[in-house]
Structure 1
Amino acid sequence: MNIDEFKTTWEKTNKQYGYNEPYPKFVEKIGFQIKKFMIPENQKYQGATGNARGMLDALLRYCKKTSVPEKNLEQFLTNINIIIDFLLTVRLTSQVPLNTAFFIRKRLENSTIETVSEAKTILEKEITFHQENYDTSENKIASIFKNRIIDRVESYELDKLIIGTHCHSGVVRKAILEARDYISQVIVDKTEPEQQGVLTAYQLIQEGIPVKLINLSQFGFEFRKINLFMFGIDAVSADGVVLNKMGTRMIATLAKTKDLPVYFLGATYKYARKTLLGGLVKVERRKVEEKILFNHLGIGLASHLDKKVNINGTSRKLLETGFSAFDTTKPDFYSSVVSEVGFLPMREAFELAWKEYLD
């Protein structure tokens, strides 16, 4: 659902229920902030959990601003669903907003509601729970994984470990800080073309954690120093395939050749429920041509993007760029997924953590 479709759907709902609820321009703004997450002032909505926080902020703000009459319960609930549907299309791969929306809808469906006020009370309580639970879940993961790091230190007969990571993950950062007494250095690559790894490096050095910032291609050399890898998670399918930032699979594949342990850390919110019945995780593609074409040699390539060349009677672009934000890593190439439930396959962990909503 794009912005025009969002506006049109909102207007149709107003006509259907006979009450002209003002268009929530703030939802459109939050959608922009989620999409443009690398702008400094928007970084609170960076990552899958950040995307979900944006959705919850929009829903909470709507609850406080809505003027829908008490008797128009169906209009209020319809508007909630329209806001959710619009914001879910901003970042296609993010599972945290998808699962959070699923839980919210389940809570509303399973509740006896007669007025708008009752619906708002239930919704606000559910929103507050998830806002707090995001942090609670990540703190549990950090505590659980600290034990694994301690075990690795003892089994390797080392004082401290050197950790390798990629891109930016809030829960990985928390786990590193939790186990800082057992970590001598973190090696992270810049993660081109959007350079989220720079954010990881910055946040860790602000906490006094020694960091080595490298290019992705340098990991092959650094493998001789690294003791284990920690990655975040964007999504995990029912059969355990992990989606994460492009480049993760390459690192995990190389790590296997060196018998280095690889762990994916993420809350059960990251489970891709629909994959159990054959659905696929939608992989986001971003327009980053300008960043890819930039080079320190000063060679201007952008002017060639619209040019074409004829090869054996077939017209082809002379130059094109491509970037897929995520790749996949199969269970054969990692040691374990770690959620707030512990070292369990994500599907099993999800069903344990959210049994109340699944019955």
Structure 2
Amino acid sequence: MDEPDLHPELVETATAIAEMEVRGAATIADAAARALEKQAQASDAATPVAFREELAAGARRLLDTRPTAVSLPNSLRYILRRTDGDTVEELRNAAIAGAQEFRDRLESAQDDLGAIGANRLQDGDTILFHCHSTDVLSCIRTAREQGTALSAIVKETRPRKQGHITAQQLQEIGVPVTLIVDGAAGRYLDEADHVFVGADSVTADGSVVNKIGTRQLAVTARERDTPIVVAAQTVKLDPTTLSGHTVEIEMRDEQEVISSSERNAIGDITVENPAFDVTPPRYVDAIVTERGQFPPESIVFLMRELFGEQAMEPWEAGN
């Protein structure tokens, strides 16, 4: 059967997420919720069955963009599991309400997380950052609003240099920044009181899936006794891992790593560009969420409380 027609705004959003014009787990989740809401608003489906199929097709299109960012499917789960009714209009209203409720919760969750994460920071602390995370920045911003003086060491985070975004935003809230190349992290860890990183996904055993280089940093930080804190809203918990699913690591285009001319000059080589890696829970001191601060090994209990034992995904269930 042919896939239903999708709203141009949903297709544009999917493209923007895939090409990293929209980035950051919370931002991706918000964009996906808005896109699915637009699909529901604009749908001219004649029957409830056709409406459900249309929303499920939109969800699948969005899902194909970034396989590792679990905030994306979690936003779609939230909306689709609340899309209930006997008529097209009832289904439409339920989907729109679910999307709006999800976005409201997403906004308040980051503020709540920031307040909890700020409690870990003391006046004069130096924090080492990897990549860019709005959840991490929420912790720092809250600490600064409370008058806590902080300084930052920021890894540039190749190949896309998301550390530059972090450096700019830290400067804007009054945190002095030292920008370093990725390979220099070990040298600067002795100057850091904490390592703060975000997460694109957290698994049931407390492993953290984040930007490539996180595991290497965490292992080195553990050796230096520098605590590593993960800031991650509960929308980043991956409920599929409760039943043993593994996280798919996104492999991105080699052009992010090497240009065509450089490749031709070097010769016949294989280029791989994994976007993420997995940090085992033994290297993580705490995972900060809007529901509180948890040792990584106890995340499974929070996940079960929030999601239960997962059954069929709503975009797979047909009508």
Aligned equivalents of 1:83, 1:55: Cα separation in 2: 10
* AA partner of residue 208 (structure 1): G
Answer whether contact 1:269 1:350 (CA < 8 A) is retained.
no
Where 1:301 maps in the other structure, the secondary structure is: helix
**Equivalences for residues 84-163 of structure 1 within 5 A:** 84-108=59-83, 111=84, 113-149=85-121, 153=122, 159-163=123-127
Distance 1:267 1:167, change over 3 A: same
Aligned to 1:341, which of 291, 303, 307? 291
Shift of residue 183, structure 1, vs aligned partner = 3.7
Show the 5 A alignment for 1:281-292. 281-287=247-253, 289-292=254-257
Is residue 203 from structure 1 mapped to residue 169 from structure 2 by the alignment? yes
CA distance in 2, matches of 1:258, 1:121: 54
Pair 1:177-2:171 in alignment: no
Quick check: 2:239–2:307 contact (8 Å CA) kept in 1?
no
1:64, CA displacement in angstroms?
2.2
Deviation at 1:350, TM superposition (A): 2.9
Q: CA deviation at 1:304?
A: 4.8
- Determine if the alignment matches structure 1 residue 221 to structure 2 residue 187: yes
C-alpha distance in structure 2 between counterparts of 1:55 and 1:268, whole Å? 17
Would you say the 8 A contact 2:135–2:232 is kept in 1?
Answer: yes
Instruction: Check whether the contact 1:247–1:327 (CA below 8 A) recurs between aligned residues.
Output: yes
Quick one: distance in 1 between partners of 2:306 and 2:292? 11
Q: CA deviation at 1:162?
A: 0.2
Work out which of the residue numbers 302, 305, 320 in structure 1 matches 2:270.
Answer: 320
- 1:230-270, Cα deviation, whole Å (9 max, x unpaired): 11011111111111101111111111111111111101111
CA contact (8 A) 2:33 2:76 kept: no
Superposition pairs of residues 295-306 of structure 1, within 5 angstroms: 300-304=261-265
Larger relative contact order (Cα-Cα within 8 Å, sequence gap ≥ 6)? 2
The change in CA–CA distance for 1:211 and 1:78 in structure 2 (over 3 A counts) is same
Equivalent-residue separation in structure 2 for 1:60 and 1:291 (angstroms): 32
1:29 paired with 2:12, answer: yes
8 Å CA contact retained: 2:228, 2:286: yes
Paired residue secondary structure (2:191): coil
**Aligned residue pairs, count:** 306
How many angstroms does 1:54 deviate by? 2.1
**RMSD, aligned α-carbons:** 2.2
Deviation at 1:300, TM superposition (A): 4.5
**Residues 1:350 and 2:303 aligned together:** yes
How many percent identity over aligned positions? 26
Paired amino acid for 1:52: A
- Measure, in 2, the Cα distance between the counterparts of 1:90 and 1:290: 18
Distance 1:172 1:23, change over 3 A: closer
Secondary structure of the corresponding residue to residue 82 of structure 2: helix
Shift in Å, 1:302: 2.3
* Structure 2 unmatched runs, 5+: 312-319
Separation in structure 2 between the aligned mates of residue 283 and residue 132 of structure 1, nearest angstrom: 29
Could you say which structure has the larger radius of gyration? 1
* TM-score where L is the length of structure 1: 0.80
Q: Which runs of 4+ in 1 moved over 6 A?
A: none
3-state SS of the aligned residue for 1:9? coil
Q: CA deviation at 1:93?
A: 0.4
Partners of 1:62 and 1:105 in 2: CA distance:
12
**Counterpart of 2:315?**
none
Q: Paired residue for 2:43, among 66, 71, 91?
A: 66
